[in-house]
Amino acid sequence: MATWEDVRRLVSALPGTEERPSYGGRPSWRAGGGMVVWDRPLGARDREQLGEDAPPEDEPLLGVRVADEGVKAALPAEEADAVLTVPHLDGTPVVLVRLRRVRPDLLAELVEEAWRCRAPRRLVAARDADAADGVRPPASPTGGRP
């Protein structure tokens, strides 16, 4: 089970990120002026539309920027236990991640990919260069992607 501290640790390891309160004072993390990941609870309409498939009200959900609509469509299909979307997000490259269900390696991958969608190109290039030189620290306790 992931926590907000896990999210905070993963995002803060990425260059050029900052934590700022967002909607209703909830935590969000930004890079390059745009939100990367954020606390995104379901609203009443989201719950109504999801019906029985809606997570419990007390379950933390992380809004995560993804590269495009193709990735957005694939993630809930491939990771149905941990990733979902709601009609309110239609047309927006964002998915919701169930922190209580997401695997640590998947969370690390999603956070980094979200950062790559928003971070300035120079920061992404510098991180990639560091990775090629073997400098980049692992994104998760398992060393990154599975």
CATH of the domain at 19: 3.90.1150.30
Tell me if 145 is assigned to some domain: no
Helix axes 4-12, 104-118, angle to 10 degrees: 50
To the nearest 10°, report the CA torsion of 105, 85, 32, 59. -60
Tell me if 112 is assigned to some domain: yes
What domain count does the chain have? Answer: 1
Whole-model pTM: value is 0.88
Average pLDDT over residues 2-21: 96
Tell me if 69 is assigned to some domain: yes
Question: Band of the pLDDT at 23, cuts 50, 70, 90?
Answer: confident
Q: Domain of residue 80: give its range.
A: 4-132
Tell me if 144 is assigned to some domain: no
Question: Which residues touch 133 (CB under 8 Å, ≥6 apart)?
Answer: none
Question: Band of the pLDDT at 140, cuts 50, 70, 90?
Answer: very low
Question: Band of the pLDDT at 8, cuts 50, 70, 90?
Answer: very high
Question: Band of the pLDDT at 143, cuts 50, 70, 90?
Answer: very low
Tokens 């379901």 found at: 42
Tell me if 116 is assigned to some domain: yes
Question: Band of the pLDDT at 134, cuts 50, 70, 90?
Answer: confident
The residues with which 97 forms a beta bridge, in sequence order, are: 62, 83
